[in-house]
Amino acid sequence: MPEHAETLSEPRAPRAENERWLPRPSLRFIPVWQRNLRVWRRLIWPSLLGHFGEPVLYLLAFGYGLGALIGELDSGMPYSVFIASGIVCSSAMFTSSFEALYSAYTRMETQQTWAAMLGAPLSVDDIVLGEAVWAASKSLLSAGAIGIVAVALGILSLPGMLLALPVVFLAGLAFASMALIITALSPSYDFFLYYFTLVLTPMLLLSGVFFPIEQLPAVIAGLAYLLPLAHMVEVVRPLAVGEGIGPGALLHLLVPLVYIVGAFSVAAYLFRRRLIR
């Protein structure tokens, strides 16, 4: 075993490794991402079925069912188009968060996969970055599945959806980094329910997925714009419907970037404190 390798039981790293705030990831996160991909390939077909089946139900129920009652919004956009672009964003959020919560915790605590990785020349920061990038990659799959269904139904624009995918990946990294903080603090799977109830569900309801944020009171709308989902919706929706980049897109993209840097740094620090003893 290399002298600098970190383990859960007999760490070789100095104690100062626990105390530093700034992460030091490297390209060695790629094998972590590749390992998760190879494992996921064993479940690829049921996973793909779920990714395509769920958006069809959402689009039929909300896009055509509720959309038939609402018709067009004040902006002239059909509600089916409005909700389809919103579901692309919310699905990416939940997929990335679920992977960074339940799956990452299973690999860390239940399967002890992370302990085995730390026996290789990998740091905790490399593993955390690999998990975040993998979760963001899965959010791309989820959003892409919804986009394919919506494009096939003539609701969203194919070129626009392709342009929106990099934004989805960026936001997926933000959601994954946030979720990894909870994973680092969690004593069990039950702890994740608080995050879904107190953070993800309010973010879903207040971020412009189901109705325009402008309909909310000014204070609530301001709070919604402190979270990354609202900014993701503001960028993805114009792209997905073929309108191009909307006004203020750079500012909206800055928010998930801030979340990525800040949340990933905190998550990596917490994991180092948890795993390096």
Could you tell me the residue ranges of all domains in the chain?
Answer: 25-275
Dihedral sign, Cα of residue 49, residue 52, residue 56, residue 62: positive
Asked whether the predicted pLDDT for residue 7 surpasses 60, the reply is no
How many residues make up the chain in this entry?
277
Contact 104, 183 (CB under 8 A): yes
Asked whether the predicted pLDDT for residue 12 surpasses 60, the reply is no
pLDDT at 5: 42
Task: Look up the pTM and report it.
Answer: 0.88
pLDDT digits (tens, 9 = 90+) for 88-113: 999 899 999 999 999 999 999 999 99
Tokens linked to 57 = 């139900």
The whole-number average pLDDT for the span 212-220 is: 90
The whole-number average pLDDT for the span 120-132 is: 94
**Residue 162, CB half-sphere, CA atoms under 13 Å: how many?**
2
pLDDT at 132: 97
Tokens linked to 53 = 């089946």
* Buried b or exposed e, range 46-71, using 16+ CB within 10 angstroms: ebeeebeebbbebbeebbeeebeeee
Angstrom CA distances, 153 to 96, 156, 212, stand at: 25, 8, 23
pLDDT digits (tens, 9 = 90+) for 19-63: 677 888 889 999 999 999 999 988 877 777 776 677 677 777 776
Contact 156, 147 (CB under 8 A): yes
Contact 185, 191 (CB under 8 A): yes
CA 207/CA 238 separation, integer angstroms: 15
